[in-house]
Amino acid sequence: EAQVTQNPRYLITVTGKKLTVTCSQNMNHEYMSWYRQDPGLGLRQIYYSMNVEVTDKGDVPEGYKVSRKEKRNFPLILESPSPNQTSLYFCASSLSAGNQETQYFGPGTRLLVL
């Protein structure tokens, strides 16, 4: 089944404790990105990647890191999480036309930073 998966789905952590949220797609998509969703602010792009070893900042990259060592995986890293990073996070991927094709979203990861 073609899909985007994220893990974990729910995470409670404390300020400063490094964490990684994994994202994987099995559709051979080139474009992958991370979003955060907050009430009243909609979906905001954190980072995106056009292909392996190519990553770029979205609108809200501060406090986040990503890597794209393999085409299928695009992990989101919070080196030192803070309470303002409490949010719902979505990973998404799309075909070779990048941001101008359908974005397929993962199920979301709800993060609470205490």
Least Cβ distance, residue 106 to another protein (angstroms): 7
* Residue among 22, 20, 27 nearest 5 (CA): 22
Instruction: Give residues in contact with another protein (CB under 8 A).
Output: 33, 35, 40-45, 48, 50, 56, 58-59, 90, 97-100, 102-103, 105-108
Rounded distance between C-alpha atoms, residue 51 and residue 69, angstroms: 9
Nearer to another protein (CB atom), residue 9 or residue 17: 9
Q: Angle CA(55)–CA(3)–CA(45) in degrees, nearest 5?
A: 35
Specify the DSSP element, H or E, that contains 112. Answer: strand 109-113
Nearer to another protein (CB atom), residue 39 or residue 69: 39
Nearer to another protein (CB atom), residue 14 or residue 41: 41
